[in-house]
């Protein structure tokens, strides 16, 4: 591995192979998460692991699409660019989902208050 002190970039000769191997690993992860999510949904097992599988599946799918898009446009020319694009994808996803997460957290709080009120009224 070569570290360029002048630009702070690191690169090595086989970065294309490493990027393809990481993309293959992400594709396998995506398939596993989608299959697990489908099995949870098919069995009616709506639980936290189902939500985690769905979230990881969405995140990995966005990473795959973004990285493949950048590769097709010949923007990715080093391993450092690959790492930058993965980090950038996470930041974009976080910013894009912030309003949805806020809405869901507010609705979850309202739902829990309503559920506690229903449970208290059924105890009487």
Query: How many domains are there within the chain?
Result: 1
State which residues form the domain around 13.
2-123
Residues of the chain below pLDDT 50: 1
Instruction: Tell me what pLDDT residue 114 has.
Output: 74
pLDDT at 29: 92
- Tell me whether strands 9-11 and 2-4 are parallel, antiparallel or unpaired: antiparallel
Nearest CA-CA partner of 13 in 61, 78, 102, 75: 78
pTM of the complete model: 0.66
User: What pLDDT is stored for residue 45 in this prediction?
Assistant: 81
Q: Are 11 and 78 in contact (CB under 8 A)?
A: yes
pLDDT score at 32: 94
pLDDT at 120: 75
pLDDT at residue 103, rounded to an integer: 92
Beta strands in the chain (DSSP E): 2-4, 9-11
């Amino acid at each position: 591995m070569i570290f360029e002190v002048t630009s702070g970039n690191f690169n090595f000769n086989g970065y294309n192979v490493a990027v393809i191997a990481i993309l293959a690993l992400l594709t396998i992860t995506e398939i596993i998460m989608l299959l697990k999510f489908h099995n949870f949904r098919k069995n009616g097992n709506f639980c936290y692991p189902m939500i985690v599988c769905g979230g990881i599946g969405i995140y990995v799918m966005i990473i795959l699409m973004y990285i493949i898009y950048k590769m097709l446009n010949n923007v990715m020319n080093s391993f450092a660019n690959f790492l930058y694009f993965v980090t950038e994808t996470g930041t974009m996803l976080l910013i894009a989902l912030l309003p949805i997460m806020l809405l869901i957290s507010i609705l979850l709080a309202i739902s829990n208050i309503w559920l506690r009120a229903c449970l208290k009224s059924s105890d009487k």
